[in-house]
A and B are shown apart, each in its own frame.
Chain A
Amino acid sequence: MKRALPILLLAPLCLSASAQERRSGFENMARDTQAMQTDDTANPGMLWVLEGQSLWHQPAGPAAQSCASCHQNTEVSMRGVAARYPAWDEASAAPIDLAGRIAQCRETRQGAPPLARESQGLLSLSAYVGNQSRGLPIAPPADPRMDAAREQGRALYTARRGQLDLSCAQCHDDNAGRRLAGSTIPQAHPTGYPLYRLEWQTLGSLQRRLRGCMTGVRAEPFAYGASEYVAIEAFLASRAQGMALETPAVRP
């Protein structure tokens, strides 16, 4: 027992986040916004889930196969999938996030025209697949090949950037729970993506959220799909390990 302890302490990548009580951004929200998320008949994100469900069953590509042709029984085959992304991608020998995996499967296996990052099609499919894991704990793969990306993600998270010279950690670890303009600074847990953000008036990905936080400190954001984003996503997932997925969440 005594010998296991140091290993347990080393395992989580972000000690500060596991040291304080972890809270989903959901808990910071006003009662009305929470109600919008938890009621599927009022959650606008469900429109994208519905769209994703219809895309999932739509034949495409040379063999006119739908996602459902290969992934039968979606509720079972896709359950828990979103919870373990980003994951290692054998084909590119690099980490890949869920949207990347979906786009890849569509292009290479289904042979259908590619879906761009942040396109309605990719967001809808991501929302539909993500929704199959709602309520499940975030479970980053133990795969050691992911470690380098998680380390890189942590480094990006703690590096100061932009004209305001602020790191993610300065807001989301040091000042989480404090107010910034009208918003409560959340702990930056990626529990609800893709999600419906009231500010966007539409559904958006975690990468879009990260872009917003970068331009917010007047830093140059990375391009959609950049390996840096996937690294940050992998780090955030390890930091939020065990927290429940809410896809599609609602955020202010």
Chain B
Amino acid sequence: MITTRRLLLAAPAVLLLPQASRASPEAMTEAVQAFTRGATVRSGRVAMDISPLVENGNTVPLSVIVDSPMTAENYVRAIAVFNQRNPQPHVITVRLSPRAGRAILATNIRLATSQVLLAVAELSDGSFWSDSTQVVVTLAACVEG
């Protein structure tokens, strides 16, 4: 039998950082407040889809959908995604026009480690909505040194 300990050969090199330069829950809160300009964020309307168990933090498929009719009177202006434990709390911000048709975004992101992700949407009425999720990132094996 192989012992896992002996074979934990190397941690993923990407985004490996001294702890101090990591984002933190506080840094994330600050980044969110900069996006919302201090407005209250309610949970709901936003659905973030990401695998709860990630095989490799270098490329993690993520999608966000916001429940909205996307009409000129009632649409999603922006969607932003934040994280707690990458070097920077901000991941992506997208801005939409009603002519996007749907408030939907899919991309691939990097996750330095297991952490909480937060997606926040700004609606045309000035309200902010969010969804958050915990993601576990497993360590890759046989990583090149």
> Which positions in A face B, CB cutoff 8 Å?
29-33, 35-36, 42, 44, 164, 166, 170-171, 175, 178-183, 185, 198-201, 211-213, 215-216, 218, 252
CB-defined contacts of A180 to chain B, threshold 8 Å: 2, 4, 7, 141-142
Q: Which residues of B contact A33 (CB under 8 A)?
A: 55-56
User: Complex formed: what's the CA distance from A148 to B22 in Å?
Assistant: 53
Is A199 within 8 A of B4, CB to CB?
no
* A183 touching B141, Cβ below 8 Å: yes
Question: What is B's interface to A at a CB cutoff of 8 Å?
Answer: 1-2, 4, 6-9, 12, 14, 51, 53-56, 58-61, 137-145
Contact A201 to B61, CB < 8 A, known contacts A32-B51, A180-B141, A181-B4: no
Query: How many angstroms between the C-alpha atoms of A35 and B50 in the bound complex?
Result: 13
Contact B142 A198 (CB under 8 A): no
**Using Cβ atoms and an 8 Å threshold, which residues of chain A touch B145?**
215
Query: Is the CB–CB distance between B56 and A252 below 8 Å?
Result: yes
Please indicate which of the listed interface residues A199, A211, A213, A218 has the most CB atoms of chain B within 10 Å of its own CB: A199
Q: Are B56 and A199 in contact (CB under 8 A)?
A: yes
Contact between chains at B59 and A35 (CB < 8 Å): no
- Inter-subunit contact A182/B144 (CB<8 Å): no
Smallest CB gap from B142: residue in A: A216
Name A213's closest neighbour in chain B (CB-CB). Answer: B142
Q: B140: which of A31, A178, A183, A218 is its contact (CB, 8 Å)?
A: A183
Decide if A181 touches B58 in the complex (CB within 8 Å). Answer: no
Q: Is B2 a contact partner of A201 (Cβ separation < 8 A)? A: no
Given contacts A180-B141, A211-B144, is CB(A30)–CB(B53) below 8 Å? Answer: yes
A-B pairs, top 4 by smallest CB distance, nearest first, are A182-B138, A216-B142, A198-B56, A252-B55
A170 CA to B56 CA, complexed, in Å? 24
**Chain B nearest CB, measured from A179 CB (Å):** 8
Cβ distance B14 to chain A, nearest Cβ, rounded Å: 7
**B137 → chain A closest CB, angstroms:** 8
Q: Taking A36-B61, A181-B140, A183-B141 as contacts, is the C-beta distance between A29 and B55 under 8 angstroms?
A: yes
For B143, give its contact among A166, A170, A185, A212 (CB under 8 Å).
A212
Residues of B within 8 A of A175 (CB): 1-2
Residue from B58, B138, B139, B144 whose CB has the most chain A CB atoms within 10 Å: B144
Q: Are B143 and A35 in contact (CB-based, < 8 A)?
A: no
Beta-carbon contact of A30 and B9 below 8 Å: no
Q: How far is the CB of A180 from the nearest CB of chain B, in Å?
A: 4
